[in-house]
Amino acid sequence: MNAANAGIRVNHLQKTFQQGRVRACRDVNLAIAPGELLVLLGPSGCGKTTTLRCIAGLERPDNDDAIWVGEQNITGMQPKDRNLAFVFQDTALFPHLNARKNISFGLNMRKTFPAAEIRRKVEATAKMLRVDHLLERKPSQLSGGQAQRISLGRAIVMEPAAFLLDEPLASLDAALRVEMRAEIKQIQRKLNTTMIFVTHDQEEALSLGDQIAVMNEGVVLQVGSPASIYLKPANLFVARFIGSPPVNQFECELVQDGGGYGLRCAWFEVSLGAEAATLIDAVGGKVTLGVRPEFISIGSEGGDIEGRVTLVEMLGSRSVILIEAQGREIRVSTQGGTTVKEGDPVQLTLTMDRAFFFAPDGRALVG
């Protein structure tokens, strides 16, 4: 396969283990355009690594037409012929080789370039990753972040058609993770190479992805831009998995409200537009209302919900405020600081035109 920069398609991928008893991938569908960075996001055990290993050729899918690169079905192709570079969470560097030899290992094996050319490629890559001063060190003499850079370098020098990264930052501390994810995105842009980046961290996914594919229990539930996944989740699982603090959820019922419509949510009621009412009526009138913390405003009178502040978290650029209302906890997020204090009685107003409605089966209702 010699496509310099390839699009990848995963077509109804199924992969079971232990004679079908473990269904790691039930129906995974993905399309990654050449040069695109797709983040595969989902909780632990949902099938992300298995999907990536099937793409790399390290696992054989159950169906024979599962993995495509460009127009070619590569499902049965040997990993070494795929020209895809895999970077793992644990860097898996050779401990007895220095950084230079770790980076050049694959090129040396391939035997296509003369030694001087390999040297030039290794040094250019190390410079881009800002580890050119560490090339003579062994892995044990590198920090976690440095080792992960060498590991990336080892993938980059191969000039693959695509990069497959499986939670590459998971073992780094928080500050380094944030720094490295920005670097990975810049490198991906610079090389203009297709990349699939696996993570269970929704913030990492939002910050990195051109597209995010949200996976659960072996199925891709939604694919879209970070903004569309955040603002238009396809179902309750996606809405809950993305966003921190998580979306507020209320079980509600459609009611007639004078001349208009309303939603009765246990102990409070909010009015509703005719369009939303029609959607909710079509699924039997019972829905889960979802409101993100930043779409609830706090005042001292005239709100939809009465409550009392139980906790204020000042997070620098924003504040998260926990409110107790009728024994329930409601999360509110505001830009900048806040004047409310623990114990204050407050009134909350829901921004209904930013609210989500989910049918009893979890599907989002959209007009």
Ligand X SMILES: Nc1ncnc2c1ncn2[C@@H]1O[C@H](COP(=O)(O)OP(=O)(O)O)[C@@H](O)[C@H]1O
> Which residues make up the interface to ligand X (CB under 6 A)?
17-18, 22, 24, 42, 44-50
Q: Which residue lies nearer to ligand X by CB, 44 or 339? A: 44
Q: Which residues bind Mg ion (CB under 5 A)?
A: 49
Q: Which residue lies nearer to Mg ion by CB, 49 or 333? A: 49
| E strand or H helix that includes residue 279 | helix 274-282
Q: Which residue lies nearer to ligand X by CB, 121 or 200? A: 200
- Describe the crossing of helices 99-110 and 144-156 by its angle, rounded to 10 degrees: 20
The entry of Mg ion, ligand X, none that residue 50 binds, CB within 5 to 8 Å by partner kind: ligand X
The entry of Mg ion, ligand X, none that residue 22 binds, CB within 5 to 8 Å by partner kind: ligand X
Q: How far apart are CB 219 and ligand X at their closest, in Å?
A: 12
**Minimal CA–CA distance to 320: which of 338, 308, 346, 303?**
338
Q: Which residue lies nearer to ligand X by CB, 17 or 267? A: 17
Q: Which residue lies nearer to Mg ion by CB, 49 or 102? A: 49
Nearest residue to Mg ion, scored by beta-carbon proximity? 49
Q: How far apart are CB 184 and ligand X at their closest, in Å?
A: 19
The entry of Mg ion, ligand X, none that residue 85 binds, CB within 5 to 8 Å by partner kind: none
Q: How far apart are CB 87 and ligand X at their closest, in Å?
A: 14
Note whether 347 and 268 are within 8 A (CB).
no
Which residue stretches of 111-235 are H helix?
Answer: 115-128, 144-156, 174-191, 202-208, 226-231
The entry of ligand X, Mg ion, none that residue 256 binds, CB within 5 to 8 Å by partner kind: none
Q: How far apart are CB 42 and ligand X at their closest, in Å?
A: 6
**Minimal CA–CA distance to 10: which of 51, 71, 57, 53?**
51
Q: Is 241 exposed, middle or buried (0-12, 13-18, 19+ CB in 10 A)?
A: buried
Note whether 109 and 161 are within 8 A (CB).
no
Note whether 103 and 124 are within 8 A (CB).
no
Q: How far apart are CB 278 and ligand X at their closest, in Å?
A: 38
The entry of Mg ion, ligand X, none that residue 122 binds, CB within 5 to 8 Å by partner kind: none
Spatial distance between the Cα atoms of 359 and 78, rounded to a whole number of angstroms: 44
The entry of ligand X, Mg ion, none that residue 140 binds, CB within 5 to 8 Å by partner kind: none
Residue 80: other Cβ atoms inside 10 A? 11
Residue 180: other Cβ atoms inside 10 A? 18
Q: How far apart are CB 235 and ligand X at their closest, in Å?
A: 18
Q: Which residue lies nearer to ligand X by CB, 214 or 321? A: 214
